[in-house]
Amino acid sequence: LFNIPLTAHFLGGAAIGDSAQTGVIDPYHRVYNYPTLFVTDGAAISANLGVNPSLSIAAQAERAASLWPNKGQDDARPAQGEPYRRIE
């Protein structure tokens, strides 16, 4: 349309960052200052991948969900604002 490239895959808007000053969500997909709100859709993908992003979105959502504690379990994720660490 009018020689302007476009994509149907809208991505970004909720950047992953080390703090609320550098991103919208932390590396565990929790929204800064809203600890019970998570972003697990295309908004967490920082750039157009050049291909259909469905699998990338699904992988990020599955990872985020796998880190949520089950009812009655302790939360192994560090508090927001603490450095990232790998959780096994």
Joined tokens for residue 83: 């450095």
Per the document, the length of the chain is 88
Contact 56, 9 (CB under 8 A): no
Tell me which of 4, 5, 9, 43 is the catalytic residue.
9
Short-list 18, 17, 14, CA closest to 40? 14
The residues facing 38 across adjacent strands are 30
Q: Phi/psi class of residue 16: alpha, beta or left (left: φ > 0; alpha: ψ in -120 to 50)? A: beta
Residue 9 appears among annotated catalytic residues: yes
The residues assigned a catalytic role are 9
